[in-house]
Amino acid sequence: MKFAQFKLPSDEIQRLGVLVDGKLFDVTVLADAARDNTGEVADWLLSINGLSEIIKRGDDGLNEVRTLLAFAEIDEASSFSLDQVDFLPPVFPGKILAIGRNYADHALEGGEPPPPAPLIFNKLSNSLTAHNTPVVLPPISSQVDFEAELAVVIGRRAKKVSEAEALNYVFGYAPLNDVSARDLQFGDGQWVRGKGLDGFAPLGPFITMRDEMTDPNALNIEGRLNGEVMQSSNTSNMIFKVPYLISYISQGITLEPGDVIATGTPEGVGFFRKPPVLLKDGDVFTVTIEKLGTLQNTFVSEKE
Q: Do residues 39 and 111 share a domain?
A: no
Q: Kindly report the pTM of this predicted structure.
A: 0.96
- Residue 37 confidence (pLDDT): 66
User: Would strands 2-7 and 207-209 be described as parallel, antiparallel, or unpaired?
Assistant: antiparallel
What CATH number is attached to the domain comprising 137?
3.90.850.10
How far out from the chain centre does Cα 196 lie?
15
Q: Which residues pair with 172 in a beta bridge?
A: 153, 209
Q: Do residues 66 and 111 share a domain?
A: no
- Residue 70 confidence (pLDDT): 81
CB 185 within 8 A of CB 144: no
CB 53 within 8 A of CB 60: no
Q: Do residues 169 and 29 share a domain?
A: no
What is the total residue count of the chain?
Answer: 304
Give the rounded percent of residues in the chain with a pLDDT score beyond 90: 84
What CATH number is attached to the domain comprising 71?
2.30.30.230
- Residue 200 confidence (pLDDT): 98
- Residue 78 confidence (pLDDT): 77
**Phi, psi at residue 80, to the nearest 5°?**
-135, 140
- Residue 36 confidence (pLDDT): 67
| Helical (H) or strand (E) element with 104 | helix 104-109
Give 218's Cβ-side CA count (13 Å radius).
4
pLDDT (tens digit per residue) in 51-88: 999 999 999 999 999 888 887 767 777 789 999 999 99
CB 146 within 8 A of CB 271: no
Question: Identity (one letter) of the amino acid at 100?
Answer: G
Final residue before a domain boundary, out of 60, 86, 112: 86
- Tell me how many domains the chain contains: 2
Final residue before a domain boundary, out of 66, 86, 106: 86
pLDDT (tens digit per residue) in 112-136: 999 999 999 999 999 999 999 999 9
- Residue 30 confidence (pLDDT): 87
Q: Which residues pair with 86 in a beta bridge?
A: 7
Round to whole Å and give the CA distance between 254 and 277: 37
Q: 132, 281, 299, 291: which is closest to 211 by C-alpha?
A: 291
Final residue before a domain boundary, out of 86, 110, 141: 86
- Residue 39 confidence (pLDDT): 56
Q: Do residues 224 and 211 share a domain?
A: yes
Round to whole Å and give the CA distance between 5 and 206: 8
Residue 59 DSSP SS3: helix
Q: Do residues 188 and 279 share a domain?
A: yes
CB 88 within 8 A of CB 5: yes
Q: 173, 178, 202: which is closest to 101 by C-alpha?
A: 178
Residue range(s) defining the domain that contains residue 285? 91-301
Round to whole Å and give the CA distance between 254 and 265: 24
Q: Do residues 212 and 80 share a domain?
A: no
Q: Which residues of the chain have pLDDT under 70?
A: 36-40, 73, 304
CB 302 within 8 A of CB 136: yes
